[in-house]
């Protein structure tokens, strides 16, 4: 569905990641982990198309949409909460506007004219589009998401600017969830959520009909949702086929395997060197052994032959 091909980002000699590749499949649940400064947020911005990679590319199918929630998401608007979140359905609202205009024009058009019949056809097509977009459940969807994220019915008419930074993030999250992109990128989405809102979001994402990639310091949240873990470290990416707890155990196991392999390699090198040293010692001693026939040493015989 979406593929990262040989991505590289570096600042001088320091590489955030170097030549990394992986694929995001439909319905993937991916935890993106790594230490602070490892490049997690940078990678998400590249996938979202906000920042370009220095090398490599992102390829995705034509129908795939990507939605991104940054850590510091702020909604700059003078609209009411409900109106601002409703703007997530821009396409559906456009259909409604076109439909209303068609109805107004129909009301003043001669019903015996050809134009009247054409308007009826246009209205029928727009109504079909409305049904496909589930436009009649728009209000219910908006209220469900906003209430789930902790807003109240009284908040619906409040100006967006009246809400604090943490609530601004919830507004941005609500709009993103309602757009339902094919790939949902969430950078620390739980930072400003209370327990009830966090539980609601967890349930919502568990049933989300698309791929999700998460950055979060909430290990329980990652464990509950993710089934694959991509770990960034020292410019490299390792992929683990499990949640965060699986990743922690598997990382230790892989490290032990590497250490054991290194010890075995060092042991083999030492054995080889010991063998070489013993061979050299024996060869050297052999040259110094006196010949039984003439009482000369091996070195003496060699000098005599050369003479």
Write the pLDDT tens digit of every residue in 223-281.
Answer: 999 999 999 988 889 999 999 999 999 988 777 666 766 667 766 777 777 667 676 66
Q: Give me the percent of the chain exceeding a pLDDT of 70.
A: 86
Regarding whether 150 and 279 lie in a shared domain, the answer is: no
Regarding whether 36 and 166 lie in a shared domain, the answer is: no
DSSP assignment string, 83-102: HHHHGGGHHHHHHHHHHHHH
Closest CA to 58 of 37, 43, 79, 80: 43
Tokens of 221: 């949240």
Regarding whether 54 and 14 lie in a shared domain, the answer is: yes
Instruction: Note whether residue 248 is domain-resident.
Output: no
On the CB side of 177, CA atoms within 13 Å amount to: 24
Regarding whether 233 and 104 lie in a shared domain, the answer is: no
Asked whether the predicted pLDDT for residue 112 surpasses 70, the reply is yes
Strands 183-187 and 14-24, bridge-based pairing: unpaired
Regarding whether 259 and 192 lie in a shared domain, the answer is: no
Q: The pTM is what? A: 0.77
Regarding whether 154 and 89 lie in a shared domain, the answer is: yes
| pLDDT for 259 | 72
Report yes or no: 201 and 193 within 8 Å, Cβ to Cβ.
yes
pLDDT, tens only, 126-156 = 888 778 777 788 999 999 999 999 999 999 9
**Phi, psi (5° rounding) for residue 238?**
-115, 140
| Residue at which a domain ends, from 171, 206, 232 | 171
| pLDDT for 293 | 46
**b/e per residue 59-91 (b: at least 16 CB within 10 A):** ebeeebebbbbbeebebeeeebbbebbbebbee
Closest CA to 215 of 194, 240, 184, 180: 184
Regarding whether 223 and 200 lie in a shared domain, the answer is: yes
* Full residue range of the structural domain in which residue 27 is found: 1-65+181-242
């Amino acid at each position: 569905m979406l593929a990262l091909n040989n991505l590289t980002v570096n600042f001088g000699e320091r590489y955030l990641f170097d030549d990394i590749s992986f694929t995001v499949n439909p319905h993937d649940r991916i935890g993106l982990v790594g230490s602070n400064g490892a490049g997690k947020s940078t990678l998400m911005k590249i996938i979202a198309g906000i920042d370009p990679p220095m090398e490599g590319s992102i390829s995705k199918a034509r129908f795939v949409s990507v939605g991104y929630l940054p850590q510091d998401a702020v909604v700059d608007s003078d609209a009411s909460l409900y109106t601002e979140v409703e703007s997530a359905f821009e396409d559906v609202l456009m259909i409604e506007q076109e439909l209303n205009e068609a109805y107004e024009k129909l009301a003043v058009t001669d019903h015996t004219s050809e134009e009247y019949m054409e308007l009826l056809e246009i209205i029928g097509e727009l109504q079909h589009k409305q049904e496909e977009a589930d436009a009649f459940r728009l209000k219910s969807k908006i209220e469900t998401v906003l209430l789930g994220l902790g807003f109240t019915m009284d908040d619906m008419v409040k100006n967006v600017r009246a809400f604090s930074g943490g609530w601004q993030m919830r507004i941005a999250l609500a709009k993103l969830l309602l757009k339902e992109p094919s790939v949902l990128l969430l950078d620390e989405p739980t930072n400003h959520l209370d327990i009830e809102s966090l539980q609601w979001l967890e349930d919502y994402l568990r049933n989300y009909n698309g791929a999700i990639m998460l950055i979060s310091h909430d290990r329980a949240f990652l464990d509950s949702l993710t089934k694959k873990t991509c770990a960034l470290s020292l410019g490299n990416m390792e992929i683990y086929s499990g949640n965060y707890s699986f990743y922690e155990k598997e990382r230790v196991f892989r490290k032990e395997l590497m250490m054991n392999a290194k010890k075995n390699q060092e042991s083999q090198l030492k054995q080889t060197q010991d063998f070489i040293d013993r061979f050299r010692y024996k060869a050297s001693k052999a040259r110094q052994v006196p010949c039984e026939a003439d009482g000369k040493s091996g070195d003496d015989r060699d000098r005599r032959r050369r003479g």
